[in-house]
Amino acid sequence: MRNSIYTSAAVLFIVFLFIFLMSRNDVKTEQILSLKTVDITAQTAPNFKILYDNDLVNIAYGSGSWLKPNPDILTKEEIKKRIEKSVEEVSSYKNIAHFFRPGFGHIPFWKSDVYSAKKHYESWESKTGNTASSWGKYMMDDKNYGDLLKVFVDEAQKNNQSPFVSLLLNDIHHGYQNKINELNISKEKWSEKSEWISNFIIENKSYLNDSTNFKSGLNWSNIEVRNLRLEFIKEICENYEIDGIELDFMRYPRFFTDNVPVTERIRIISDFLTEVDSLLNDPELRPDNYPKNKKRFLVIRIPAQEKMFNELGLDYSKFKKNGVDMVILSTYFFSMQQGIDFKFLRNSIPNLPIYYELHYITLGYSIDSGLPYYGRIPATEAQLYTTANLVYKNGFDGISLYNFQYYKNTFNQNVPFSIIDSLADKSWVSNFKPQWYFRSEGWRDEVLPEIFNSKKTVNYKLDTIFQENLKPQRGEFRLFFDSDIEGENWRVFINTKELSKVDCIFDPNQKTFEQFTYFNSKFLCYDIQRNLIENGTNNIKLSYLPSEANVEKKLIYYDLILKEYF
C-alpha cells in the first residue's frame, strides 16, 4: 500500500514538474513549433501595381546578336555591370515587382546541380568547335562569375526591389536556326546558336510535340518534362532570396499534341501549379537568411485570349486553389487594346489580382519584311495610358510591362521609364489626354488583317471610355495599310455618320508612325467632329471602291486620336 502511494505521488510530481517547465518555456516552444507549421496562407496578398519584365538579353544591346553576343564586346565584367544597371534604372519607382529571366528556360543561368551550364557550354565548344557567346563564357567561369541570377537578386535587394524569377516553360528560341536531322552529321551543321539546345532535348527528341522540329516545343504530357522544371524551381527556391516565380506559358504556347484531351491537359497543368506553390512555400526550401514564414508569390503569364485556355490546359476556376497569386494576361509581344474581353476576364478570375501586359510596340510586320526595324511600330505614351485606363475601368489591378527596354534596342529611343509611376495611378490615367485608341494586326487577332477587294464593306468596333468631364470635341481617325494607298477611294462611317477625308497631320512629338517617312503614303486620315464618339462601343463601317479592277488592299491597323475636349 505504501509503495503504491509513493508511486502515485511520484507520478503526480513528474506531471506537475512537466507542466511547470512547459509554462516557463511556452514562448520558446511556440517559436519552435511555428517554424514547423508556418501559416503562409494568412500572409498579406500582393500589392504590386507594376510588374516589370527584365529578359536579360536586352543588356546585349550593341554587342552583336542578342542570342550570341560577342564576348570581346560584352565581357563577363560588362555583363555584371549591365545587370546591375538594369535594376538601378527602375529603382526609384514604387509598388514594382522586378521579374528577371535567367536564360531561355533550358540552360540555367544560375549555379545548377540539375543541369550545369558550365558543363553544357564546355561540351558544346568541344563538340562543335565553335566559341561560346558572352553568356557561355560567363557561365563557364564559375570561379569568378557563373551565376547571373545571384547578381540580379543581390542588386534588387540593394535597391529595395522585390526580386522575382521568370521561367520560360517551353521556349523555342533554339529552334529557329537548327534542324534536328542535321545535328551530329558534322560540326558544320551545328549553327552558332545551337548553344541554346540543351542535351535534355537532344537526348529526348520524342518529348517534342513534333520529333522532327525543335520549334514545336516540348510535350508536357511527358512527366520528365514537368519534373525537370520542378527540379529547377526547387533549387532556385532553396538557394536564392526571391519573392516569387513567374511561370511563362507564352513562350512557347503549345504544351500538348492535338490528341491529348482537354481534361488531361487541365489535370496536368493544375497539378503542376500546385506542386510549384508547394515548393515556393516550403519553409525548408529557403536560404539561411530568408524568413521561413514569408509568403512567396506564384505568378502565371497566360494568354489574354480566353479561347486559348483549353489549348494550354488552363482552368481559371482552379487558379486560386492551385496556389496562383497573380495573373498576367498577355498578347504575346504586341500591345493590343481592342478585341480583348476585359470584363469577361475580370469576372472569370474574381479572387486574384490580374495585370494587363503592355509592350513597346503596337504593330510589327514579319521579321523578314525587309523594312527598317522589321516594320515594328513603337507604342506611344498616350496609347499606353489609354489602354491602362481601359483595363482599370474593367477592374484590373495593375499593369505588366514586357520588353520595355526595347524602345532603345529596336528604335534607339530613350526608354520612357518616367511613365511607370503614372501607369500605376488609376486616377491619373483616367484624366490623361489626348486619348489614343487603336486596333492592330495583333497576335491571333480574328479581325485584322483584312483584305479589301472590289466594293467590299466591313464593320468594326472600337471601345472607348472617358470621364464625363472629358467629352471629345475633335479628333482624327486613321487607317493604315501594308501598301501605298494614294488615289484609292474609300467611304468611312463612325456611328452611321460619314467622315470627311483630311490631310494627315503627323505630330513629330508623338514619335510613332510619323518617324518613319516610308509609312506616310500608307495612311488615310479622317476628321472627327464634336459629339460623334460614344462613351462605350463605337461602330465603324469601311467601304472600298478601287480605282482599278482586281486591286486588293490589306488593312492592318486603325486608330482614333481624341485631341480636343470640352
DSSP characters for 265-303? HHHHHHHHHHHHHHHHT-TTSS-TTS-TT---EEEEEEE
Span 139-156, average pLDDT: 96
Question: What tens digit of pLDDT does each residue of 495-517 get?
Answer: 999 999 998 876 545 555 445 55
pLDDT in tens, 19-74: 444 444 433 323 322 333 345 544 567 889 999 999 998 999 888 777 789 999 99
- pLDDT score at 25: 40
What is the secondary structure of 64-116 as a DSSP string? B-SSSB-TTTS-HHHHHHHHHHHHHTTTT-SSEEEEE--SSSSS-SS--SSS-
User: Is residue 189 very low, low, confident or very high in pLDDT (cuts 50, 70, 90)?
Assistant: low
Structure confidence at residue 488 (pLDDT): 73
pLDDT value at residue 339:
93
Residue type, position 231, single letter = E
Asked which of 209-213, 332-336, 370-374 is least confident by mean pLDDT, the reply is 370-374
Q: What is the mean pLDDT of residues 301-319?
A: 96
pLDDT of residue 372: 63
Looking at residue 544, its pLDDT comes to: 92
- Taking the model in full, what pTM does it have? 0.90
Closest CA to 443 of 557, 335, 328, 314: 335
Computed over its alpha carbons, how large is the radius of gyration of the chain?
28
Beta carbons within 8 Å of 387's beta carbon, 6+ residues apart: 335, 337, 356, 358
Provide the pLDDT for residue 152.
98
What is residue 473's predicted lDDT score, i.e. its pLDDT? 81
- Per the listing, cell 519552435 goes with 32
pLDDT digits (tens, 9 = 90+) for 457-466: 999 999 999 8
Q: Which of 7-11, 356-360, 515-519 has the highest mean pLDDT?
A: 356-360
Q: Considering the chain, what percentage of its residues have pLDDT values greater than 90? A: 64
* Largest Cα–Cα separation, the chain: 122
Distance between CA 335 and CA 440 in Å, rounded? 9
C-alpha cell of 319? 487558379
